[in-house]
Amino acid sequence: MPHLPPHSDLSSHEVTNQPAARGDLALWEDDPALQAHAVTAGARVATLESYAATIGTADMQEAGRQANRHTPVLMAFDAAGRRLDEVRFHPDYHRLMEVGITAGYAATAWEGGSGGHATHAAMVYLTSQIEPGVCCPMTMTYAAVPALRADEDLFARWVPKLIARAYDGSALPMARKPGLTMGMAMTEKQGGSDLRATTTRAVRDGDEYRLTGHKWFCSAPMSDGFLTLAQAPGGLTCFVAPRWLEDGRNAIRLQRLKDKLGNRANASAEIEYEGALAHRLGPEGEGIRTIIEMVHHTRLDSAMAPAGLMRAALDRATYWARHRTAFQAQLIDQPLMRAVLADLALDWEGALALGLRVARAFDSPSETERAFARLAVALAKYLSNKLCPGLVYEAMEAIGGMGYVDDSGLPLLYREAPLNSIWEGSGNVICIDILRTLRRAPLAGEALSAELGAASGQYRRYDAALRTHMERFPKLPDAREARWYAESLATLLTASVLMRAAPPAIAEAYIATRLTGARGRTAGAIGAVDEAAILARLSGLTA
């Protein structure tokens, strides 16, 4: 709805030196880095232009704010004491879900044609800038598709509606809904990331199973089904537990909602299976092998989301700096502010470029590229998420006191910033997984070496950094040095992508500040770089 502009001439003073309200965001047009890296990755430009225009409007930005302010509410019982086990959301949460699902967030990778995963990854990036909480259920819906290939019948029953581009948030059985969402319930109190410590039991009931046990973390509990793990007679097994049955509710009890730091618009719950009906997915005893396909794809999204959060934070800081004067000069013209923003922008573009390079590997039919994707997605997830919280904080500080106020949007981003590092394998788990992949899948290591080697010969300092890494780690390190190893590899990989997919000023600045050690420990503590070129990538303006 159009609104009259607010009054600036107040009775006691005139409001000056405050940036005007943003209005609609040109998420595609004002992001030349996204345009370039999306094209390089083979993403579908028309789809992204359309989605960016839809999700970036002032109306959708306000919907995101409302979905965060009015958080989900658990309705365990109705007024008479009958079990409901439902979560009620603000209407704007459903609006955001509908926009994402109908645009193809969960579907585009599986509909055929080229660039599906790259397009999906860019949509994660865009959505994270507006309301990151809705990414969780849509991401799991996207990622459930490859896991469901383990059972032909379940695939035929679920996947057409998971990719139907139709959102229906009602509490109805799947046969009565045009589209479905899929969640995940794996974590238990005693196990955490150690899924083999699962104690939930699965007992045969004819052709199906009944589950009994407690899940400490169920992501998106109002999904139409969950991929979950339980101990069957043959060992740890993967199951699909439908949320709703044809004759009523499945025996999945929502015990409480988690009071989370961020991701406020999305519900996460503790649930109890009380003999809940479930369908086996894959052979008994092969639970982790089966569900790892879902985890592999959710990791792509948890590698892309921090790039979106970083972009949103830097966009707010840069807009403020361009429209705020201090000490007789615009903030954007203050040398130290430019150094800080340019330094931060290198981490943002590195995260974006690496995430979309990994997404391109997901799209490839090549066995070598798929092996590369398995390893590179973990490297991207690790590095981008470790950088994200510090970047968002620095953007907050660039705005000053206003950045600490929720109206600025920075506190929402700051609360969200740690999430994707913890979800789907925290830092230590990811680093150990990187070492495990290199030991068990030689092709992944060979593909990574080829990728790093393909960029050599262009920049002396890159070549020197690559040699230093190889000399420091002539063989795989033990677990104690896994973080050092992962960070070094991920930074080299990011540099190699930027060298081939970004302007020389970006690649040169990244190498000079990330690979040589010639910098301080805080943002902006760097030597001379081409700040104008770097900030132009951030703002969409010409250098």
Name the residue among 496, 393, 509 with its Cα closest to residue 451: 496
**Do the Cβ atoms of 168 and 177 come closer than 8 Å?**
yes
**Do the Cβ atoms of 373 and 356 come closer than 8 Å?**
no
Cα separation, 60 vs 332, in Å, equals: 28
The pLDDT score that the predictor gives to residue 382 is 98
The pLDDT score that the predictor gives to residue 6 is 84
Token pair belonging to 365? 């039919």
Name the residue among 412, 357, 423, 356 with its Cα closest to residue 385: 423
Cα separation, 324 vs 138, in Å, equals: 37
Cα separation, 141 vs 177, in Å, equals: 15
The pLDDT score that the predictor gives to residue 542 is 42
The pLDDT score that the predictor gives to residue 541 is 55
Cα separation, 246 vs 14, in Å, equals: 63
- List the chain pLDDT tens, one digit each, 543 residues: 557 778 788 788 888 888 888 999 999 999 999 999 999 999 999 999 999 999 999 999 999 999 999 999 999 999 999 999 999 999 999 999 999 999 999 999 999 999 999 999 999 999 999 999 999 999 999 999 999 999 999 999 999 999 999 999 999 999 999 999 999 999 999 988 888 899 999 999 999 999 999 999 998 999 999 999 999 999 999 999 999 999 999 999 999 999 999 999 999 999 999 999 999 999 999 999 999 999 999 999 999 999 999 999 999 999 999 998 988 889 999 999 999 999 999 999 999 999 999 999 999 999 999 999 999 999 999 999 999 999 999 999 999 999 999 999 999 999 999 999 998 889 999 999 999 999 999 999 999 999 999 999 999 999 999 999 999 999 999 999 999 999 999 999 999 999 999 999 999 999 999 999 888 999 999 998 999 999 999 876 543
User: C-alpha angle with apex 422: 158 to 468, nearest 5 degrees?
Assistant: 115
Which amino acid is located at 206 in the chain? G
Which amino acid is located at 188 in the chain? E
Cα separation, 395 vs 309, in Å, equals: 11
Chain position carrying tokens 């809940």: 276
Q: Residue 403: left (phi > 0), alpha (psi -120 to 50), or beta?
A: alpha
Q: Which domains does the chain have, with CATH numbers?
A: 32-285 (2.40.110.20), 289-539 (1.20.140.10)
- Rounded to whole angstroms, what are the CA distances from 414 to 236, 258, 346? 37, 18, 19
Cα separation, 400 vs 18, in Å, equals: 13
